[in-house]
Chain A
Amino acid sequence: MTAAPLRLELQGITKQYPAVKANDGVSLRVKPGEIHAVLGENGAGKSTLMKIIYGAVRPDAGEIRWNGQPVVVKSPHEARALGISMVFQHFSLFDTLTAAENVWLGLDKSQPLPQVTERIRQVAADYGLEVDPLRPVHTLSVGERQRVEIVRALLGRPQLLILDEPTSVLTPQAVDRLFVTLRQLSAQGCSILYISHKLDEIRALCHHCTVLRGGRVTGEVDPTQETNASLSRLMIGAEPPQLQHREARLGDVVLKLEGLSIPKRDPFATTLDGVSLEVRAGEIVGIAGVSGNGQQELMAALSGEDGRSPPGSIRLFGHDIARRGPAARRRLGLHFVPEERLGRGAVPTLSLQANTLLTRTENVSRSGWLKTADVKRLAEDLIARFNVKAGGPDAAAKSLSGGNLQKFIVGREIDAKPKLLIVSQPTWGVDVGAAAQIRGELLKLRDAGCALLVVSEELDELFEISDRLVVMAQGRLSPSIPAREATVEQIGEWMSGLWEVQHAEA
């Protein structure tokens, strides 16, 4: 068969970084119209490989062939000229500009902005990607920002689209919609490189799968013929640990929200509208929902970072804490792990030991002096207990990988023996092993009698660890439903705010 030449072929790609060999003789073959998965844990070298294809990083050795021709991709600009587009895991959008202006920035300036805006609307409609081009990016949720990035990538009519962990911020329905979009692209002949560590998705979507571990290719398989276990073995060399889920032993009501309404701060934030919820000791309540529906606002209200909650709307063990600041709430046993690790949960340039002081004050003397030896010991203990891979208590927070920093931050809050732990996106961008460990720690804390409230955009995760589920949509909170009785379809519908109809029927 005289097949068309391969869309993309990599031979022996090697890239040495100062500390690690990110890619070691990696080869990859992508056919036209193929959806090709690149599977691997964080740090396996997936992102480096994609950056090499996209021209953002130069390989030390190896060959790239594009449609059969050897090429040297010197810059992302050249990559785009060839027809390669990429959607990064970390978005490169300017906060102060609108979605359309951001897209326009990356294009050649011959097109006027209104025309670009129109094209965005068109592409967005064609592929079912809801994007309002006129909204400033800082008002968009993570999920919405990703859609802007995907639309931007599609405007160039690429022959190869690279997606780096695209579904970590999407609802099940949105994932399905994305898959429809991707299959549509694939049918039109556009090849897709799909980077992920989510096995179900890869098996559902991809035609071919290249597995990376430690910078080397450890397998090339047809994912539809594989099981999660076999893929997992290729990826991490072992099967992911199973969580032990014991029966919940419910205690007293710890957190009681009643009529929590807060007007939005800016036109594109979400107004919290009469949120009511109870969380009891010894249970995990999961909050599902599409990002940008008020989760961030609710978290800020609960942590005390937003102090505008109406008096009496937030009670902790019956105390009205609505007007207390974060430090006062922490003294009452409310600890919070925010969604952003760097810059909010930890100060990037400070050491791990200094970062313990953000939320842990037991090493501060009454007169305000720091007990430096104790601070250091605490950091060392956290590193050891939660198996954080770091250079030691003096390592800067930003030197840690996302997963390890998350283990450190979650560990810092768990170790504080909270009575109520609120966690936002506990495992976002964290690799399989670390994610399982974090979930296991959360369950252990629950079994020890702590109340937990977890916000996550990964439904699988919520189903895995929650005792009860609630859904957030348009600033309102659904009634709760035992996680065992909930189905993905039902929760998905509730995410659109449709629980009242169903609840009335039930």
Chain B
Amino acid sequence: MRAMIVKEFRELVRDRRTLAMLIVMPLLLLIIFGYAANFYVTSVKAAVVGPQATQVASQLPPYFDVTTAEPDGSRADAESLLKDNKVDVAFVTGQRPVRALVDGSNLFAAQSIVGTLNKAGDSVQTEVLYNPDLKTSWVMVPAIIGLILTFIGTIITSIGLVREREAGTLEQLAVMPIKPSTVIIGKITPYFLVAALDMTVVTVLGILLFGVPFNGNVLAFALGAAVFLFVVLGLGVLISTLSKTAGQAIQTAFFFLLPQILLSGMIFPLDAMAVGVRWIGYLLPLTYFTMISQGIMLRGASIASLWLAYLILAVMAVVVFTGATLRFRRDLAPGSGHARGGQQPVETQAVTAAGPGGTP
């Protein structure tokens, strides 16, 4: 018994990736939960339009951070500010009571705003746009679409590619007259198609089952999804070049996946996170896709207003793919430099262990 325990401990200590998961992960989660987990929004961006704009703006409590005060603005201007996600609430003055248009796609902010405004009583009439009933599902479904794509992209792609390396067939491909880029494209195409199909199904189901609206341009949405897919598939290829076994690939992919679930704004609002942690969220691709999917589906936002998100995703795609291809090329064509340092080429054990011999 003792021998067994000692042995397991020794093996665990040598397994760096699992150790990292067991020790670093809980610490990471603690820090994230400590600093990020915050459902309470302390301040929201507001705009005031209409004849008494400046007056009303100065009367608002500091909770409302007024970024725009437009005396000449109309309700339409207010709505477009909300649609473009420039503010979370827009006050339209010029009538009694003052109208407060709240962006329902930003769930926690909206809930907080509505709660605050309710205390103001009859002087303000609140109207929630895009998600009138403040349903969580309406906000979650667009985010989950992104999550599913991330899952397929990173975990499944990395396993698929690593299996090739594990089986030893990667070497064979390397000696055949195929270009490394052909191999990569050939390998990710099925996953791209499956992911696209998955996404369509989930979106349609989301709309049908939960009544989530689709107010925006389908093509814009598809474009955003495609770019995002490239990012996550590229990450999958990159992870595969860092892993020797499928088990390692899953562990590494998990490291990439977990922060995205917690810090992309899907569960805890970005605005509510401590600044120190928020910037991590801004590095994650899922954050930007969520902006795109929520914007298009709930607010009917245009590409123009979301251009930054699209651009960032495009840049990420290029960077990740270039990195992944370069590393992959090294695996397939060790043309320059040494074979990966110090590693004895795989010897015969693989064949003898793999081939089943003899009767059961």
Partners in one complex: no
